[in-house]
Amino acid sequence: MNTLLFPLEKSNIAVIGLGYVGLPLAVEFAKKFPVTGYDISNSRVEELSKGVDHTLEIEDKLLQSVLVRSKEDFNTQSTGFYPTCSHKDLADCNVYIVTVPTPTDKHNRPVLTPMLKASEAIGKVLKEGDVVIYESTVYPGVTEEECVPVLEKESGLKFNQDFYVGYSPERINPGDKEHTVAKILKVTSGSSPEAADFIDGLYKLVITAGTFKASSIKVAEAAKVIENSQRDINIAFVNELSKIFNLLDIDTQEVLEAAGTKWNFLPFRPGLVGGHCIGVDPFYLAQKAQEVGYHPEIILAGRRLNDSMGKHVATEVIKHMMRKDLKVMESKVLILGFTFKEDCPDVRNTRVIDIYRELKNFDINVDVYDPWANAAEVAHEYHVQVLDREKQPDLSSYSAIILAVAHREFKTWTIAKSDKQVVYDVKGILGKDIVDARL
């Protein structure tokens, strides 16, 4: 192994970005290594320093078991997790793992700013022999063509001579307590054979599911970006089927149940496609394809169709209200659920907002109730005031109820079919006999 690469047991790790991806990874590594968790959000660092995680990805008890509350104590320990927003605390680290968001702008173009800013921060403290690993979802080429030049510029060091990089795509599924970070097989890669071996070996120490070493960084980047693109396209297909079957007066859920009796039928279901991955990643692949002169048809068609589903749901609800001779303008409609998926507080890129906005276009008074969403976060990100989650709303006071997110709480509620109310089930968890329609 190249002498610039230190023994695995000497790793002093920094995790840049302490969100849904970074925190679970940092906690896992902190069981065996000293881990400095860096985030630019003061409130996030303060929260973690108290042993609390509002994302609910890590149980407070587990977080507190690895947490080191002072820099002085951290410097004397061989393991543990120290959260900070001070750039100076990164100087002693020799492995930097970047887990920052990779969003798109309003035109669906990739925004690499968080990754480039993280690279700048690392570059200022980068030393000979250090290793930088990127986990954020990107299109092929970003690590070596966009991030490495920033590292070189800020550090004055030479890539693959003085420092090394790798790419190991995150695969965390927010809210999933079964497929946690250690239980998901990890794809790894490195900028040289020695770096690839080092990075693969490092992850093997904490990933019980094992690792898969890709042949290059670009292969690892491409593998990640197609994972979610594949899901997006499959969901787009069943969403289109839902629209077709609705016009044919056929229940889509019953069709899928029947088709699912074949052993190789893929069990995708129609729905809203949001979140920080599936609704975003296809645009990254499309961007790179267009840069090299290819216009992707299936990928972008799938995105367009999935992005249309919120408006489709709102339109169907209004149609059913009109069929029941219910007033539309200035009526009251309740949306149950606002997070991008069930039993999870994550509201990033939730497409429930599309239903909300379309209903508002018809001058409908829309209430949103979600027992998982943080009201302040929803108000800040979407300018929507959600109802008090401690008090169940009076369902009988609404002209229409839209079950948008399948939170477990909603499965226990009693919702009755009525001539004076429309019940629309986006997720297909309510009985067919009590809903007017479902996606």
Residues assigned a catalytic role: 277
CB atoms within 10 A of CB 383: 8
Dihedral pair phi/psi, residue 275, rounded to 5°: 85, 180
Q: Are 70 and 106 in contact (CB under 8 A)?
A: no
SS3 category, 226: helix
Give the pair of three-digit tokens for residue 381: 């990100």
CA-wise closest residue to 389 among 405, 431, 436, 310? 405
Spell 335-355 as b/e; 16+ CB within 10 A means b: bbbbbbbbbbbbbbbbbbbbb
Residue 73 parent element (H or E): helix 71-74
Q: How far is C-alpha 59 from the geometric centre of its chain's CA atoms?
A: 19
Structure tokens, 37: 């968790």
Please report which residue ranges of 248-268 form alpha helices under DSSP H. Answer: 252-259
- Burial of 430 from C-beta contacts in 10 A (0-12 / 13-18 / 19+): buried
* Rounded-to-integer distance, Cα 289 and Cα 278, Å: 18
The whole-angstrom separation of Cα 97 and Cα 15 is: 5
* Cα Rg of the chain, angstroms: 24
Strands (DSSP E) contained in 69-210 are 80-84, 95-98, 131-134, 164-167, 186-188
